[in-house]
Amino acid sequence: MISKTKLQQFLAIVTERIRARPILQPIANTTVNEGDNATLECLALSDSMPHFQWLKWYSKPTNNSGNLTKALKDHDHYEVIKQNKYEPDNHILQPASKRRFAPHGVRLTLVNVEKKDEGKYTCLVGNSVGYDVADTYVTVRGK
């Protein structure tokens, strides 16, 4: 009796995932006329969907070279900006590609801007590995 054996080959591709904190791209300062809308865009490179949060500063924090912990301790005059409860996903920018380290982002739209909206805004982004921050300044021109 002759036995027939089938040989099969399989190819396994193993990709090592490097875990990294998100990296924010710089945010441009914005000048807007009173009564108009202003949109701020925060983009981060990350290998997973990070968590974003916007802060509005009410004091004039010193430049702490990106040290958010020191800034929060030294200046407690900030507000955490809540997302729109009616359209919670409207502000999220999904990656345009399926690349492993793709840009994710959020938009913050200030509607009917007033002089009180002028000031420093901080985008805070984090994942399980770490966080990054980027600041921008909104200038409001009077009517």
pLDDT tens by residue, the chain, 143 residues: 666 777 888 888 887 767 889 999 999 999 999 999 999 999 998 877 788 999 998 865 455 555 666 655 555 587 888 766 555 444 544 555 555 555 788 888 888 999 999 999 999 999 889 999 999 999 999 87
Report whether 20 contacts 48 (CB < 8 A): no
Please tell me the distance from the alpha carbon of residue 9 to that of residue 101, in angstroms, as a whole number.
31
Burial class (CB within 10 angstroms; exposed 0-12, middle 13-18, buried 19+) of 129: middle
Strand partners, 32: 140
Tokens of 80: 């955490």
Determine the pLDDT at residue 83. 65
Q: Distances from the Cα of 86 to the Cαs of 42, 83, 98, 110, 134, in angstroms?
A: 21, 9, 28, 16, 27
Report helix, strand and coil shares of the chain as percent, to nearest 5.
5, 40, 55
Determine the pLDDT at residue 5. 76
Determine the pLDDT at residue 3. 67
Q: In what order do the strands lie in the sheet with 23-24?
A: 23-24, 38-46, 102-110, 92-93
Determine the pLDDT at residue 100. 52
